[in-house]
Structure 1
Amino acid sequence: MDTPRGFNLLHLLSHSLLLLPLLTNSKTPPIQDEKSKIISRFQQYLQINTSQPSPDYQKSTQFLLAQANSISLESQVLEFVKGKPIVLLKWPGSDPSLPSILLNSHTDVVPSESSKWVYPPFGAHIDEEGNIFARGSQDMKCVGMQYIEAVRKLNISGFRPKRSLYLSFVPDEEIGGLAGAQKLASSDVFKDMNVGIALDEGLASPNENYRLFYGERAPWMLVIKSTGAPGHGAKLYEDSAMENLFKSIESIRRFRASQFDLVKTGLKAEGEVISVNMAFLKAGTPSPTGFVMNLQPSEAEAGFDIRIPPMANLESLEKRIAEEWAPTSRNMSFEFRGKGIPHDDQGRPLVTATDSSNPWWALLEEAIMKTNGKIGKPEIFPASTDARNFRLVGLHAIGFSPMANTPILLHDHNEFLNHAEYLRGIDVYVSVIKAYASYIPPRRHEDSRDEL
């Protein structure tokens, strides 16, 4: 049926007018739209499953190279160990003679038990409060992407660095970093980079103060073994393998309690004491249904994760292990499955100076405060990070992750970071990079003849 032309036009105009407010309101303000893009890029990185023991490094590498290309950074992929790529990005400075800045992060994350998470650990779900749930949201994909987003902002603003800026994304930090930061720090490529200061990961802070770390505890992975004659399950006798191991465990437990008391009473921070935690206990004679219950085993062993601050007396600890925890007089022995280095090659604590001898520390504090950030007391990192590899080659290295008012959830179930805190951290890095990349040390004037 034919409809009058006037009716069609009137109907169309009225329908368009009704839609106009809806279309206008549906537009996202430019600032809000840009924030959404920033969060989306973070989510994309988090959604790449780089958990140990089978991280998808190929996918993370492709993603990072695409990000580098989008902000015109130079890039290269290094493989000191096959299948373990290091993505190295560079923003060239105007004065190549000045030592460069290194912003380091690791691409791998620890495994997660998805059944114990509220949201899938690689879904990067954002809840109603703006919390982004994902493995790596705190440790430490947040920091790696904040580096990139800060450079993006600075690039758009027209800022040009005097010092060259390197962004390194290394593998395998969660399993010791042997194929990642350790290889990089000892390479000729690294020497040619002429790095003057390295920034690496820190920890979230439950309060308003950002946390800065100038050193870290070294990991000693200790395995204690005990032997003895097997015996009937009903027999009481001295020096069985299990009895001897229990004596050691009790001695270690008392030492652990004494160290923990120092923390609980506020006399020392967590990073300043020696921590000891049992990682495994292995004993018993296997049977088809489990273990033989009426047989005392002839061997038993236990593994301990020990973390040692740089100021600790290593000789005293080694003596304690040999004489109290695993004495040969009780048919015991011990070995280290890993032994981190808390001192340099001259026996000095492996730490970064926080006084006037290190201008990078003051520059970092000033840059953070310019963003209205607050800073807590300098700390020793309670675990270990890739920063130790840079300190071992004589560099200043500082641990810092801009996450205030955030529960510490690294390696925990339901790891998350609030989107507002993530965005705020980008602005902090904008300030830090600007300060570091523009820093020119004061010249040392020679004394005049008159002064001489």
Structure 2
Amino acid sequence: GTYIWGRGTLDDKAAMISILEAVEKLLSENYQPERTVYLAFGHDEEISGLKGAAVIAAALKERGVEAEFVIDEGYAVTIGMVPLIDKPVALIGTSEKGYLSVSMTVEMEGGHSAYPAAESAIIVLNRALKNIVDNPMKAKISRPVDDFIRYIGPEMPFYARAIFANKWLFKGVILKIYAGGSNSNALVRTTTAPTIFNAGFKDNVVPTKAEAVVNFRILPGETSNDVIEHLKKVIADNRVVIKELEGRKEPAPDSPINVPGFDVIHKTIRQVYPEALVAPTMMIAASDSRKYTGVSSNIYNFAPIMVTSEDLARTHGLNERNKIEDYKRGIGFFYQLIKNCDN
């Protein structure tokens, strides 16, 4: 066959099994690394990592471990996903956006739908949601995105190179370009996504209560408090009660790209995927790698898988799959990475 099918073949069992197969191969060759390599596999990354990565990181810190770098799942070798770039692009996450969900509740008098009031809980809450969606937080070029532009800029068509090479002059144009797409927009601003709405129970009754949940992915350089203050400002209605929900994560610290840890990952990608460009960038999604900040200040997100937009749509969905040849290259990546750490 051509593919390995099943949940986790892309996210994230492929990376874990690739690590184990790479180590098994090195052991079969009696390879003895000069530097200590820790393999850490949490079991609850999808639900915050509090009992997995957090506990592992605490144990390592208690033992006095100071890691040169940490590499975790996250980005991959992308195909046809970076605008204006024809080659595959291997993306290394050097920071992560923060995470915040808030509930918004409005309670007002209800009544019979035959003689409705001019405003109701649903109308007021709907207006508040429209205000926050229509007035997003300001677009900005953060340091990880600035690094990304510097790395891929030379590979762009001439007209784009001229724009991206002169950010001081064309910053507004660049932000407009990125803000124009749903994926690229997430790189330059704190995103706003209403995810839950509850109100009413009967078609002829105006409800007394309406509730919604809105999720924000916070841009590095901003905080959850900034988001809350922005919400209050654009809603400007005291009838809307805003409450922060559990699970808040502030943006993860930026990891440097001028250190040996980044260099060895970059070098290994170039060896295993010579056809790909390599660029640092910001993680839009969240992982549990931030739990390791007490163990290392150099935390990077990259998994040796090759993905298209179609593949991403399969992740956490139907027909998730990984090419067998790509999986083998993933094993080769971790095999070579461990060896390169000794060099």
Unaligned runs of 5+ in 2: 81-87, 140-174
Name the residue aligned to 1:338.
247
Name the residue aligned to 2:187.
271
Q: Describe the superposition over 1:227-283 as per-residue Cα deviations: whole angstroms up to 9, x where unpaired.
A: 111122133434421111101111122145987976353795633322222221111
- Answering whether residue 156 of structure 2 is matched by residue 156 of structure 1, we say no
Would you say the 8 A contact 1:216–1:271 is kept in 2? no
Would you say the 8 A contact 1:215–1:379 is kept in 2? yes
Could you say if the C-alpha distance between residues 263 and 414 of structure 1 is closer, same or farther in structure 2, counting changes exceeding 3 Å? farther
Rounded to whole Å, the distance in 2 between the matches of 1:231 and 1:426 is 64
Q: CA deviation at 1:198?
A: 0.9
Give me the CA root mean square deviation. 2.6
Q: Describe the superposition over 1:80-116 as per-residue Cα deviations: whole angstroms up to 9, x where unpaired.
A: xxxxxxxxxxxxxxxxxxxxxxxxxxxxxxxxxxxxx
Rounded to whole Å, the distance in 1 between the matches of 2:31 and 2:60 is 30
Correspondence 1:257-336 to 2 at 5 A: 263=178, 265=180, 268=184, 270-284=186-200, 291-312=201-222, 314-325=224-235, 327=236, 329-336=238-245
Would you say the 8 A contact 1:214–1:380 is kept in 2? yes
Residue 291 of structure 2, aligned match among 381, 389, 393: 389
Would you say the 8 A contact 1:212–1:375 is kept in 2? no
Higher relative contact order (CA 8 A, sep 6+): 2
Name the residue aligned to 1:122.
none
Q: CA deviation at 1:419?
A: 0.7
Rg (Cα) greater in structure: 1
Would you say the 8 A contact 1:225–1:299 is kept in 2? yes
Would you say the 8 A contact 1:223–1:337 is kept in 2? no
Q: Describe the superposition over 1:369-390 as per-residue Cα deviations: whole angstroms up to 9, x where unpaired.
A: 1224323321111110011111
- Answering whether residue 146 of structure 2 is matched by residue 241 of structure 1, we say no
Residue 306 of structure 2, aligned match among 393, 399, 404: 404
Correspondence 1:52-71 to 2 at 5 A: none
Residue 232 of structure 1, aligned match among 109, 112, 125: 112
Match of 1:234, SS?
coil
TM value normalised by structure 1: 0.60
Identity, in percent, stands at 24
Whichever residue aligns with residue 299 of structure 2, its letter is A
Unaligned runs of 5+ in 1: 1-127, 285-290, 344-349, 440-452
Rounded to whole Å, the distance in 2 between the matches of 1:331 and 1:421 is 50
| Length, aligned pairs only | 295
Q: CA deviation at 1:324?
A: 2.5
Name the residue aligned to 1:435.
340
Could you say if the C-alpha distance between residues 170 and 190 of structure 1 is closer, same or farther in structure 2, counting changes exceeding 3 Å? farther
Q: Describe the superposition over 1:207-244 as per-residue Cα deviations: whole angstroms up to 9, x where unpaired.
A: 42222110111111111111111122133434421111
Whichever residue aligns with residue 340 of structure 2, its letter is A
Whichever residue aligns with residue 376 of structure 1, its letter is V
Name the residue aligned to 2:103.
223
Would you say the 8 A contact 1:184–1:190 is kept in 2? no
Name the residue aligned to 1:146.
18
Residue 264 of structure 2, aligned match among 353, 358, 363: 363
Rounded to whole Å, the distance in 2 between the matches of 1:231 and 1:261 is 46
Match of 1:148, SS?
helix
Correspondence 1:27-106 to 2 at 5 A: none
Whichever residue aligns with residue 141 of structure 1, its letter is K
Residue 353 of structure 1, aligned match among 242, 256, 265: 256
Could you say if the C-alpha distance between residues 313 and 226 of structure 1 is closer, same or farther in structure 2, counting changes exceeding 3 Å? same
Could you say if the C-alpha distance between residues 235 and 186 of structure 1 is closer, same or farther in structure 2, counting changes exceeding 3 Å? farther
Rounded to whole Å, the distance in 2 between the matches of 1:331 and 1:264 is 28
Name the residue aligned to 1:23.
none
Could you say if the C-alpha distance between residues 394 and 322 of structure 1 is closer, same or farther in structure 2, counting changes exceeding 3 Å? farther
Would you say the 8 A contact 1:213–1:379 is kept in 2? yes
Whichever residue aligns with residue 178 of structure 2, its letter is V
Whichever residue aligns with residue 332 of structure 1, its letter is V
Name the residue aligned to 2:75.
203
Would you say the 8 A contact 2:104–2:240 is kept in 1? no
Q: CA deviation at 1:133?
A: 1.5
Would you say the 8 A contact 2:102–2:242 is kept in 1? no
Whichever residue aligns with residue 155 of structure 1, its letter is L
